[in-house]
Amino acid sequence: MGSSHAALQPPPHSNEIKVSFPQEHVMLLTFNRPKSLNAVTPTMTEDIKRVLDWFDNEPSLWIVVITGEGRAFCAGADLIEWNKRQASGGAEEDQKRLIRDVDGFASISRRYSSSKPMIAAVNGGAYGGGLEIILNCDLVIASEDAKLALPEVKRGVVAVQGGMPRLARIAGHQLASELLLLGRPITAKDAATRFGFVNKVVPQAEVLSTALAWATEITENSPDAIQSTKRALLLAGRHGSVEDAVIAHVNSKESKRAFTSENIQEGLKAFTQKRKPAWKNPAKL
What are the tens digits of pLDDT across the range 164-184? 999 999 999 999 999 999 999
Rounded to two decimals, what is the model's pTM? Answer: 0.94
pLDDT given at position 1: 44
Asked if the structure places residue 127 within a domain, the reply is yes
- Categorize the per-residue pLDDT at 2 as very low, low, confident or very high, splitting at 50, 70 and 90: very low
Q: Determine contact, residues 18/65, Cβ cutoff 8 Å.
A: no
pLDDT of 98-112, one tens digit each? 788 899 999 999 999
246 and 129 belong to one structural domain? no
Res 5: pLDDT: 63
We report the CATH number of the domain holding residue 58 as 3.90.226.10
Residues 103 and 158 in one domain: yes
Number of domains in the chain: 2
How distant, in Å, are the alpha carbons of 30, 42, 53, 161 from that of 223?
23, 32, 18, 29
Q: In this structure, is residue 150 part of a structural domain?
A: yes
From residue 268, give the alpha-carbon distance in Å to each of 84, 225, 249: 58, 12, 22
Whether 31 is covered by a domain: the verdict is: yes
The confidence score (pLDDT) of residue 240 equals 87
Lowest mean pLDDT among 99-103, 191-195, 228-232: 99-103
* Residue 183 sits in the same domain as residue 50: yes
- 89 has a pLDDT exceeding 70: no
- On whether both 244 and 179 belong to a single domain, the answer is no
**Distance between alpha carbon 123 and the CA centroid of its chain, in Å?**
14
Which residue out of 69, 152, 217, 262 is catalytically annotated?
152
Which of these three, 175, 202, 219, is where a domain ends? 219
pLDDT in tens, 23-66: 999 999 999 999 999 999 999 999 999 999 999 999 999 999 99
Last residue of a domain, one of 186, 202, 219: 219
Query: Percent of the chain having pLDDT more than 90?
Result: 87
pLDDT at 284 over 80: yes
Q: To the nearest 5 percent, what fractions of the chain are helix, strand and coil?
A: 50, 15, 35
Range of the domain at 71: 3-219
Q: Is 206 labeled as catalytic in the residue annotation?
A: no
Same domain, 190 and 243: no
